[in-house]
Amino acid sequence: MTAMSGLDHTVLDELTRALTEAPVTDPDILDGHRHDMASFCPAGVPAALVRPRTAAEVSAVLRIASAHRIPVVPQGARTGLSGAANAVDGALLLSLARMDAVLEVDVIDQVAVAQPGVTNAALSRAVAEAGLFYPPDPSSWESSTIGGNVATNAGGLCCVKYGVTGDFVRGLEVVLADGEVIRTGRRTVKGVAGYDLTRLLVGSEGTLGVITEVTLGLRPAPEPVLTAAATFPAAAGALAAAAEVMAAGLRPSLLELIDQVTLRAIQDLRDFGFEPDLGAMLVAQSDRGGGAADDVARIAEICRNHGARDVAVAENAEEGELLLAARRSVNAALERLGATLIDDIAVPRSRLGDLLEGLHEIASEHEVLIACPGHVGDGNMHPTVVFDRADPDAVRRAELAFGQVMQLGLTLGGTITGEHGVGRLKSAWLREEVGKRSWDLQRQLRAVFDPAGILNPGAVTG
């Protein structure tokens, strides 16, 4: 079967009988579902799109796909930035978007049970109504789904204090490649019985199984937050201030850096009053309620000691949102400059200065623009190569620069991805990061879960 031939009528009939909603084969609809936000990753021509509503329907789809050796690409909201949801030729696109119910919020056990199609924002609001808190908050939280967050082990602005998605996953319901449904983990706080398959499945990007239910640990509702923002004449001062904030034992719930390139783009998008010669901006937040004022006062003092030009401290949450507005404008501002290749390398905080210096050298060598906002509190930065997609030479230079950015991250003792995942965009770099033996072990593990190799072929380990 070739990509253009579609599915055999027998297979389509089997899928139609197994599903509440018939498979979609309309070329225009399929074309709209071919890829996620990583538009530069290869994307094949899928054979059909299926939208199951239950784990039993997911199981049926995978049994059929396994029997006919049809590749399956699981998809959520397709907000990912690594190409993990991109189609391969002749594949079934398995959308979990219809499975969007919050099944349970338990105040006593402080857990929530959700289907994979629930958006991060919807879950956060549902648990907030019960006086609880789900901290992971990817930038795309209004549209990204819990299943996708788990599949990529997504992060967000609050990671510096609370950690990433995987730190809150207690248990999973997963459909394996052959259609068998398994449960991993548990809803208890503690549990060390056997190998930790839950941890293995988190971040596996649809290559080991399809997540159909997630049990998540929750926190008590956060106390009121306060925010501070400081501008610096040079990035070095902002980095030094961020390092001292963390070394001093302060645990901000948010600590973000906006570099000079990004500040200029934001100012062009909307007049924030940023002077053109600003080198960087640091945004910090504390959610310790009664202690928040002391926290932001100490952070402000540290910033001034490291040469901050201006420091603004919000008096309430509403003013804090105004200070955060610039950070939330980053993606929109950079997209106005041209096409973007967004990286998400993470390096030790002590090497962040070397990272920014290296990025400047890469940008000069390849004659491209590289912005670098990011989560400075945990060293997870987002170097973004901006270029003209209509210029083939600019595209070539941008791709070379992107690869060198990943190499720079590894050279500095970091990783090729802190929260976006490997997907197809970075699969060639994974082996270099983990080494041949670990690479081989990962491929062997994948074969144990999916002997026929139908699940998301080409993603993560290739």
Q: What is the DSSP string of 251-291?
A: --SEEEEEEHHHHHHHHHHS-----TT--EEEEEEE--GGG
CATH number for position 237: 3.30.70.3450
Is residue 9 domain-shared with residue 25, that is, in the same domain? yes
Whether 129 maps to a domain, the answer reads yes
Do 47 and 117 belong to one domain?
no
Domain boundary among 187, 220, 253: 220
419 domain residue, yes or no: yes
Sign, Cα dihedral of 273, 275, 276, 281? negative
CATH of the domain at 198: 3.30.465.10
Smallest CA-to-CA distance from 402 within 440, 371, 380 is with 371
Residue 459 belongs to some domain of the structure: no
Q: Is the residue at 439 inside a domain?
A: yes
Q: Which residue type does 21 have?
A: E
Tokens representing 132 are: 């609880």
Residues 144 and 168 both lie in one domain = yes
In this prediction, residue 238 carries a pLDDT of 98
Q: In tens digits, what is the pLDDT along the chain, a chain of 462 residues?
A: 334 446 889 999 999 999 999 999 999 999 999 999 987 788 999 999 999 999 999 999 999 999 999 999 999 999 999 999 999 999 999 999 999 999 999 999 999 999 999 999 999 999 999 999 999 988 888 999 999 999 999 998 889 999 999 999 999 999 999 999 999 999 999 999 999 999 999 999 999 999 999 999 999 998 889 999 999 999 999 999 999 999 999 999 999 999 999 999 999 999 999 999 999 999 999 999 889 999 999 999 999 999 999 999 998 888 888 888 998 899 899 999 999 999 999 999 999 999 999 999 999 999 999 999 999 999 999 999 999 999 999 999 999 999 999 999 999 999 999 999 999 999 999 999 999 999 999 999 999 999 999 999 999 998
- Amino acid 4: pLDDT: 40
Residue 222 is predicted with a pLDDT of 84
pLDDT on residue 139 = 84
Residue where one domain finishes, among candidates 53, 70, 95 = 95
Which residues form the domain of 32?
3-95
Q: How many CB atoms lie within 10 A of CB 191?
A: 13
Q: Tell me, what's the pLDDT at 7?
A: 85
50: domain CATH number is: 3.30.43.10
Would residue 460 count as lying in a domain?
no
Q: Are 221 and 128 in contact (CB under 8 A)?
A: yes
317 and 351 assigned to the same domain: no
> Are 158 and 227 found together in one domain?
no
Q: How far is CA 312 from CA 40, 161, 228, 320, 322, in A?
A: 39, 22, 6, 10, 11
- In this prediction, residue 322 carries a pLDDT of 87
Q: Are residues 434 and 405 in the same domain?
A: yes
370 and 315 in a common domain: no
Do 231 and 310 lie in one domain? The reply is: yes
State the pLDDT at residue 318: 85
Hey, what are 381's tokens?
């930065």
- Token look-up 């901000």 returns 252
Residue 157 lies in a domain: yes
For residues 240 and 195, state if they share a domain. no
Q: Answer yes or no: do 134 and 117 share one domain.
A: yes
Taking the C-alpha atoms of residue 257 and residue 235, their distance in angstroms, rounded to an integer, is 9
Q: Are residues 73 and 146 in the same domain?
A: no
The model carries a pTM of 0.94
User: What's the CATH number where 350 sits?
Assistant: 3.30.70.2740
Picking from 329, 357, 379, the residue at the C-terminal end of a domain is 329
For residues 165 and 142, membership in a common domain is answered with yes
Q: Is residue 444 part of a domain?
A: yes
Split into its structural domains, the chain has a count of 4
Q: Is residue 37 part of a domain?
A: yes
